[in-house]
Amino acid sequence: MFEGWPDGRTLRVFDPPRPVVVDMVRFDPTSGRPYSAAPEGVSLRVRASGARIEAAMPARQLAWLQLSNGLWRGICEMQLRSANRTSSMTITLWVPPEAIQVQEEQ
């Protein structure tokens, strides 16, 4: 994934990736919004098969990447599941440091 970024001053890779929890509300303030906040409400189909986002989600931090404006972002992989747990996928997020909490290895 990081072969094309040779500058170790702006990319710090974790090998192996480290377990973290992402504060999804800090990452995206619309996360965890109640159904009633949607302008038209939310259909039962979407409630069941839409991606379920909790306020805090477990993830694996792959690296830190420094942006051209000097800020850092955590590159994190997270497993998402639908609310009815029939669908899932792994996504990659670019997370600000204040939304990442490192977890103890178990």
Per-residue pLDDT tens digits for 37-83: 666 777 888 878 888 888 899 999 999 999 999 999 999 999 999 99
Q: pTM of this prediction? A: 0.85
Burial 13-28 (b: 16+ CB within 10 A, else e): eeeeebebbbbbbbbe
Domain-located, residue 5? no
Q: What is the rounded distance in angstroms from the CA atom of residue 27 to the CA atom of residue 23? A: 6
Cβ-based neighbours of 10, under 8 Å, separated by 6 or more: 65, 66
Domain-located, residue 52? yes
Q: What is the rounded distance in angstroms from the CA atom of residue 19 to the CA atom of residue 25? A: 19
Number of domains in the chain: 1
Domain-located, residue 30? yes
Q: What is the rounded distance in angstroms from the CA atom of residue 59 to the CA atom of residue 80? A: 10
Max Cα-Cα span within the chain = 48
Identify the domain containing residue 25 by its residue range. Answer: 11-102
